[in-house]
């Protein structure tokens, strides 16, 4: 075991995959210079483990700033024998390549009757919470959940980042990885040995009996803090991190709600048609009889992200807003509803 950061764990997974399979290549903007710290052993080119030195420029390729061309070319390469990892840097840049994601990456295998397989991973960072303004702060994974044919991961811990990325790279289907920048510096002990976290299996972050709290991506650390606060108030919170949004581990969520009878879903994406909306609908349809209280979502509002730090910090679920939702569904306090109304 080694203490790894979230970014370091991504780098470790990429290195293991590059070592294991010569068909794996990394393409993206600034990957040769290891600008984001996932294609090297350290921050400088002379560092041991630098990917360009280790694997050569045939397999580590800087791209022009041409997202549509890059995403399509990665799809074509995946259809013809390579297993590309595409570093798209910011998640907001995925929109530039929307036609390729929706019309080629997601549809080709299906339209062509299974002739194509599409073993490609598209990594991007959700740069929210860092005062970068509306063009860099998007959390767009829900709109891709609406495109059948894509698989979607959103790891919230270094271990999951490593294990899920290995599974994504080994998958013969296209996988989009959404990585919250707020998690980049998170550290924990991670196995140095290769391991795979299967796609479609949720992680129970903490067990509890009174309320199920499904938390996604950067909302997971806030959820853990909120659950600790509630524990001090005598309320037992079970936290489920789906980790994979497509395929979604529906049974893990339904099992937990069957046990607790209450559901709060927290995520940093917009409210309308978000992952929280989908999970809420799932529980309302499949586990209505288990519910002791209405479902509550804690999300970003349907609003663009303002630049000023004093404005931005209220936009995403926090320990406080998640805590208020938990108190509301468990009947803990009367002020919870007012607090939530403010947040949403």
Partner 1 sequence: MTDLSSNDLLEIQRRMLRIRRFDERASKMVKRGHIPGTVHTSIGQEAQVVGSTFALADGDYMSGNHRSHGHPIGKGSPLGPLMAELVGKATGVCKGKGGSLHLADFSVGSLGESGIVGSSIPIATGAALSSKVLDNGKVALAFFGDGAANQGVLYESMNLAGSWKLPMIFLCENNQYALSTPAHTVTSGVIADRGAGFGMPGIRVENGQDVLAVYAAVKTAADRARAGDGPSLVEVVTYRYNEHSEGLRLATDYRNAEERADWLSRDPIVLFRNHLIETGVSAELLDQMEADVLAEVDAAVAFSDASPYPELSVAFDDLYTDKEISA
In the complex with partner 1, the residue whose CB is nearer, 39 or 330, is 39
Cα–Cα distance measured from residue 153 to residue 168, given in angstroms and rounded to the nearest whole number:
8
In the complex with partner 1, the residue whose CB is nearer, 197 or 329, is 197
Cα–Cα distance measured from residue 2 to residue 300, given in angstroms and rounded to the nearest whole number:
35
- CA 208 to mean position of chain CA atoms: 23
The dihedral region occupied by 37, where left means phi > 0, alpha psi between -120 and 50, and beta the remainder, is: left
Cα–Cα distance measured from residue 146 to residue 40, given in angstroms and rounded to the nearest whole number:
34
In the complex with partner 1, the residue whose CB is nearer, 175 or 326, is 175
Look at the block and give the residue holding tokens 């397989």.
Answer: 117
Cα–Cα distance measured from residue 4 to residue 256, given in angstroms and rounded to the nearest whole number:
30
Q: Which residues bind partner 1 (CB under 8 A)?
A: 23, 25, 58-59, 61, 63-64, 66, 68-82, 99-100, 103-104, 108-117, 148-149, 151, 171-173, 198-202, 247, 249-252
Least distance CB 103 / partner 1 (angstroms):
5
15, 59, 123, 136: the catalytic one is: 136
Closest CA to 126 of 69, 50, 201, 177: 177
Look at the block and give the residue holding tokens 């829900």.
Answer: 142
Over the Cα atoms of the chain, what is R_g?
A: 20
Least distance CB 45 / partner 1 (angstroms):
21
Least distance CB 239 / partner 1 (angstroms):
17
In the complex with partner 1, the residue whose CB is nearer, 96 or 130, is 96
Q: With H, G, I as helix, E, B as strand and everything else as coil, classify residue 275.
A: helix
Least distance CB 319 / partner 1 (angstroms):
29
User: Is residue 231 within 8 Å of 239, Cβ to Cβ?
Assistant: no
Least distance CB 80 / partner 1 (angstroms):
4
Task: Count the Cβ atoms, other than its own, within 10 Å of residue 3.
Answer: 10
Look at the block and give the residue holding tokens 């590059």.
Answer: 18
136 is catalytic: yes
User: Is residue 224 within 8 Å of 326, Cβ to Cβ?
Assistant: no
In the complex with partner 1, the residue whose CB is nearer, 118 or 125, is 118
Which positions are annotated as active-site residues?
A: 136
């Amino acid at each position: 075991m080694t203490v790894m950061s979230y970014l370091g764990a991504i780098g470790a997974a990429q290195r293991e995959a590059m070592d294991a399979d010569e068909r794996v290549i990394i393409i993206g903007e600034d990957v040769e210079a290891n600008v984001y710290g996932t294609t090297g052993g350290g921050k400088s080119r002379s560092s041991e483990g630098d990917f360009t030195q280790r694997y050569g420029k045939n397999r580590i390729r800087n791209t022009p700033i041409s997202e549509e061309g890059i995403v399509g070319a990665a799809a074509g390469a995946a259809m013809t024998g390579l297993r590309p990892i595409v570093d798209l840097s910011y998640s907001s840049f995925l929109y530039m390549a929307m036609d390729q994601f929706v019309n080629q990456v997601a549809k080709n295998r299906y339209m062509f009757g299974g002739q194509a397989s599409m073993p490609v991973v598209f990594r991007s960072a959700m740069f929210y919470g860092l005062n970068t303004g509306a063009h860099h702060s998007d959390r767009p994974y829900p709109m891709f959940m609406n495109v059948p044919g894509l698989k979607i991961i959103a790891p919230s811990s270094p271990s999951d980042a490593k294990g899920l990325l290995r599974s994504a790279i080994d998958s013969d289907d296209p996988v989009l990885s959404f990585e919250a920048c707020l998690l980049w510096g998170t550290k924990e002990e991670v196995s140095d040995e290769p391991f795979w976290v299967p796609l479609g299996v949720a992680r129970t972050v903490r067990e509890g009996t009174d309320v199920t709290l499904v938390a996604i991506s950067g909302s997971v650390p806030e959820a853990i803090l909120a659950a600790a606060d509630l524990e001090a108030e005598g309320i037992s919170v079970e936290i489920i991190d789906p980790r994979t949004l497509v395929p979604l581990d529906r049974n893990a969520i339904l099992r937990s709600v069957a046990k607790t009878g209450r559901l709060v879903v927290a995520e940093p994406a917009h409210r309308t048609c978000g992952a929280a909306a989908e999970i809420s609908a799932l529980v309302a349809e499949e586990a209505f009889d288990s519910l002791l209280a209405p479902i509550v979502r804690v999300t970003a509002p349907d609003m663009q992200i303002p630049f000023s730090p004093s404005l931005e910090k209220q936009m995403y679920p926090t320990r406080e807003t998640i805590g208020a939702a938990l108190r509301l569904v468990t009947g803990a306090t009367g002020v919870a509803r007012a607090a939530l109304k403010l947040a949403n």
